[in-house]
Each structure stands twice: as C-alpha cells, then as structure tokens.
Amino acid sequence: MFLFLILFSLFLILAENFGWIKTIRSAVEKGSIPTKMVAYRTWQGIGGSFSGLFSLSNCPQKIADLEKQIEEYLVLSVKLNVLEEENKALRRQLEAPLPPTIKFLPAKTLGLTKYLTIDKGEENGVKPGMIVVSENILVGKIIQVTPKTAQVILPTNPDSKIPSRTIKTNARGLVEGQFGTGAVFDRVLQAEVLESGDLLVTTGEGEYERDLLIGKLTRIEKVPVEPFQKGEITPLLDYSKLVNVFVIK
C-alpha cells in the first residue's frame, strides 16, 4: 500500500508537469456544465416565485386585488353557466311538441314549499290561472301573484285536481295530489281500461292546455264493488330540481 501511494504521488507530479491534469479537469467540467445550468435555472425559477410570494406578503393590497380578481372570475363563470343552461332550456322548449301559436315567458324557480315560487309576476303580465311547463310536461298552475313573483300549485299538491286521460287507452279521470310528493289518477270508471306504465296527459279542461304530460301510472287499484278505480302516478319531473320553467301566456 505504501509503495502504491509513492507511485501515485509520482504520477500526479508528472501529470501536473506535462499538463495532463488540466485536460482531465476540462473534460470533467465540460460534462458537468449542462447539469449545473439546469440546476441553476431551476433555482432561479424557484427564487423568482418565492420572491413574488415575499413581495405579496409585504403588500396586503396586492393580495386583496388578487382575491378580488379571483372572486370576479368565479362570479363570471357562474353567470356564463346560468346563461348556457337558460339557452339549453329555451332550445328544448322551442323544440317541444306543442302548438306553435303558444307564447312562453321564461322564468326561474326561487323555492319550493307548499307551492313552487317563480321570479315572474304581475309586472311581467303573469296572472292566476296561467299554466307553467317544462318542455311539454306540466309543472303546475299559477294561483297567486305579486308584482315580481308567482306561486305555482303542483300536480302533487292535495288541492290540485287536473282533468286527465291516459294516452294508450284514453281512460278519463282526475289527477289528484297526495300528501307528500305523489299523486293518483282517480275517479276513473270501472269500465275504463288502466294499464301500468301508461302515460297521463291533460284533457284541455279546467284552464289547462291540452295534451301536457303529467306522469306515469305505476300501480292500479281496482275494486269491483266500487264505482271507480284509480292508479298511482309517478311524476315525470323532480320539482325540487327545476331551475328554468316557462309560463304559457
């Protein structure tokens, strides 16, 4: 080992004298420069980011301005989404299979308790008795109005009675609301034929437009000794999720 150290020392002395060390160092540095450059540029980028953060931390006004801009962008995004949904709803409404002479007033829902509240009222020409729809599906009938809002009674309301018929068998009766979220097709003569899955539409009586969809029969209750039969109805709309509706004027 001692002899090896002596020989290695002699080699370094000779390499230094003949310039070999510079050549080796140059080759090593040349290979390491790209790595060093990447590392330094990365550090510069991080340093710039931290510098910006420190600058912001030292300037509350800049932070407040950024927060305001973010809030404005969020509000604008929500407005754009609302407009897009309104346009889609209007397009679907115009494509609904209803008489072309019918005029619609677009409205938005504001809440649902006993009645559905919409954002159109007397100032928009809305009156009690007008019908509210979503495409060709009945939402309900307006029963109360204020200057800017209106209350809509839904088919599931216990006070609602809608002259209706089945599409397939043309059986006639009344759609009556039940406590909760359901409705029944009642006052149907025993001689009429009711089939589960048949759709119900308005007959055009009682201020309701003709052939507006209401719901689907799901279970038939037929007692031979009774003068009438009836069936349970599943609504075609989730009233709690309605956003855009249309008043028939």
Greater confidence (187 vs 78) lies with 187
Pair 220, 196: CB distance under 8 Å? yes
Please say if the pLDDT value at position 44 is more than 50: no
Please say if the pLDDT value at position 247 is more than 50: yes
Over its C-alpha atoms, the chain yields an Rg (Å, rounded) of 38
CA distance 94 to 104: 9
CA distance 103 to 246: 9
State the average pLDDT over residues 192-211.
Answer: 94
Helix (H, G, I), strand (E, B) or coil at 111: strand
Model pTM score: 0.66
State the average pLDDT over residues 146-162.
Answer: 96
Pair 196, 160: CB distance under 8 Å? no
CA distance 126 to 121: 5
* Res 31: pLDDT: 53
- For 56-93, how does the pLDDT look when each residue is reduced to its tens digit (9 = 90+)? 555 666 667 666 776 666 666 666 676 777 777 777 88
In terms of average pLDDT, the best of 14-23, 36-45, 83-92, 111-120 is 111-120
Torsional sign, CA 153, 156, 159, 164:
positive
Torsional sign, CA 151, 153, 154, 158:
positive
In terms of average pLDDT, the best of 18-22, 82-86, 214-218 is 214-218
Residues of the chain with pLDDT > 90: what percent? Answer: 52
Please say if the pLDDT value at position 33 is more than 70: no
What is 103-249's CATH number? 2.40.10.340
Please say if the pLDDT value at position 123 is more than 60: yes
CA distance 215 to 2: 101
CA distance 181 to 110: 19
Reported as a pLDDT band with limits 50, 70 and 90, residue 42 is: very low
Question: Alpha-carbon dihedral of residues 117, 123, 129, 131, nearest 10 degrees?
Answer: -60
Count of other CB atoms within 10 angstroms of residue 178: 15
Greater confidence (34 vs 114) lies with 114
Please say if the pLDDT value at position 55 is more than 80: no
* Res 41: pLDDT: 44
Reported as a pLDDT band with limits 50, 70 and 90, residue 144 is: very high
Pair 201, 212: CB distance under 8 Å? yes
* Res 10: pLDDT: 54
Domain residue extents for the chain: 2-56, 59-94, 103-249
The partner residues of 131 in beta bridges, in order of sequence, read 141
Place of tokens 């048949």: 198
Please say if the pLDDT value at position 176 is more than 60: yes
